Every structure is written in structure tokens, then in C-alpha cells.
Amino acid sequence: MTIPALGLGTFRLKDQVVIDSVATALELGYRAIDTAQIYGNEAEVGQAVAVAASGIDRDELFVTSKIWTDNLAADKLIPSLKDSLSKLRSDYLDLTLIHWPSPKGAVPVSEFMGALAEAQKQGLTRQIGVSNFTIDLLRQAIEVVGKDAIATNQIELHPYLQNRKLVDFMHSQGVAVTSYMTLGYGKVLEDPVIQQIAAQHAATPAQVTLAWAMQLGYAVIPSSTRRENLASNLKARELKLSNEDMGRIATLDSGLRLTSPERLAPAWD
């Protein structure tokens, strides 16, 4: 089992905006969609997928959702996942992630990873994984379910936050990297180095940034509300960057973290 290299993010997108984004993306050829319980848009994602589903087999789609921190206890995780499934109008998810580690360790890692593995055993999700996990938390999760059971750790990763220590650990364990906010929520696209590389390839800054991450073997899930951006982001799969381009982007790491909510953030590596 593997994670698709490029999917569609849906954070912040609600109501008709998310329906249009998902429907347009599916029409353009996207087949992977990333949502979460806390995004409050699973029902709308489900609606857009259901409309498109007349032309697309469920097997061709890759739907990811994430368990919110309120639902990590053993008696809540599976019922909350079933609720997500009903909103998403599907019998199973392709990938279910623990969205954030339990704040202040209120629910032990062994409890929620155990419940997540049980959900997989029951066929509610094909693959399982985590998000926003540090090396220490990942080690704890691996102790519970084993490294082969954890398909990915979805983490903030873009040219300004390359997260090398964590990525090295994940590589050593065979846990795939999913980069979220690959475009730095638009910030990276203004970078002069990214813009120069884009000009050299007659590509967009977003394509360069996404191609950089995919060339490093990371899955990406950029979001967009615009058809032209959705279409051009998908074409990033065709862009090949040179070693020199990759080396120049490697130098842009400044440790700039955009997502670190006080209540949720673990002690980052």
C-alpha cells in the first residue's frame, strides 16, 4: 500500500467552496482528497465525491480523514470514525490519521493507536497513520502498532521548514512523509529563488515547490479554490528539477513554522 504522491487539501474550505474545489479537482484528474473531522467539511467533501462518483470507481479514489483530539479515547475513536464515514458516504477510508497528539498526553498513545489499529482490523480504514508527531511520539506509536503499520506522518514541511531531523528518523523507520502546507500557504511562492527556478523551467512557483517535495519522495496535498491553480498544481508531477535546483531550494530552510497552535503543539524536534 502506498500514499498517492499528489492529492487535494481541504483545510479552511467550507460549504459550496469546498464542494466546488473537490468537484473541479476530480474533474481535472485528482484522485486523492485530504479532509479532517475538525475541518467541518466531511459532509460537503462526501457530497462532491458522490456526484463525481458516477464516473469514478471508489477504488480509484484515495480519501484521507483525521481523528480530532476530542475523539482519541478508546470509546470515542471508532464511533467518531463511523460518523466521518457516514458524512463521507463511504464504507471505508483509505487512510485515517491521528490529527494531533493528545494535548498534555491526556489520552495515552497506546490507547489511541490501539483503537486506530482496531478500526483498521474492522475494515473501517485501509491504512492508518499520524500527523504532527515528533520523533518521540512516533517512537511511542511504533511501539504500539509496529513501524510497518504506520503509513505516514503528515507534517508541516515546505522549503522554509524542511524538518530534516524528523524526516531522517521517518526514513529510518520506513514511514512515508506527507508534506502539508507545501506552498507555505502561499508564502513560499514569493521567494526569489523559487521564482528564478520557475522562470528557468517555464513553470509556476507552485509547480517548482510541489515538484521539489515530490522529488524528495514526499506526498503533497496542496489546496486551491481556483481551477487554474488546481490544474497547474496537478501538472507539477511532470516537472523534473535538476540537482542544482534541488540544492538551491535546500538552502532556503529557515525553520519557519506556520502551524503551532499553543493548545496542541508538541515539543517540536
Ligand X SMILES: NC(=O)c1ccc[n+]([C@@H]2O[C@H](COP(=O)([O-])OP(=O)(O)OC[C@H]3O[C@@H](n4cnc5c(N)ncnc54)[C@H](OP(=O)(O)O)[C@@H]3O)[C@@H](O)[C@H]2O)c1
Taking each helix axis as running N to C, give the angle between helix 192-200 and helix 243-250, from 0 to 180 degrees, rounded to the nearest 10. Answer: 170
Q: Is 39 among the catalytic positions?
A: yes
Sign, CA torsion 226/227/230/236: negative
Shortest distance (Å) from residue 222 CB to ligand X? 4
Q: How many CB atoms lie within 10 A of CB 207?
A: 23
Cell of 150: 504506520
Nearer to ligand X, 123 or 255 (CB): 255
Helix residue ranges, H only, the chain: 15-28, 42-53, 74-88, 109-121, 135-145, 164-173, 192-200, 205-215, 227-234, 243-250
Check 39, 160, 180, 218 and give the catalytic one.
Answer: 39
First-to-last C-alpha distance (Å) of the chain:
28
Please say whether the beta carbons of 12 and 223 come within 8 A. Answer: yes
CA–CA separation, 239 and 206 (whole Å) = 11
Nearer to ligand X, 127 or 243 (CB): 127
Shortest distance (Å) from residue 164 CB to ligand X? 19
Residues at the contact surface with ligand X, assessed by CB under 6 A: 9-11, 34, 99, 131-132, 154, 180-186, 189, 204, 206, 221-226, 229, 232-233, 259
Collect all residues with Cβ–Cβ distance below 8 Å to 29 and sequence separation of at least 6.
Answer: 234
Nearer to ligand X, 9 or 46 (CB): 9
Q: Name the residue whose CB lies closest to ligand X.
A: 9
Nearer to ligand X, 122 or 266 (CB): 266
99 annotated as ligand-binding: yes
For residue 31, CA distances in Å to 51, 89, 213, 247 come to 14, 16, 19, 31
Shortest distance (Å) from residue 170 CB to ligand X? 15
Shortest distance (Å) from residue 138 CB to ligand X? 14
The torsion angles phi and psi of 66, rounded to 5 degrees, stand at -135, 135
Collect all residues with Cβ–Cβ distance below 8 Å to 92 and sequence separation of at least 6.
Answer: 85, 123, 124, 125, 126
Shortest distance (Å) from residue 37 CB to ligand X? 12
Q: Of 124, 179, 150, 153, which is closest to residue 7 (Cα–Cα)?
A: 179
Nearer to ligand X, 64 or 121 (CB): 64
**Known binding-site residue numbers for substrate:** 99
**Known binding-site residue numbers:** 99
- Active-site annotation, residues: 39
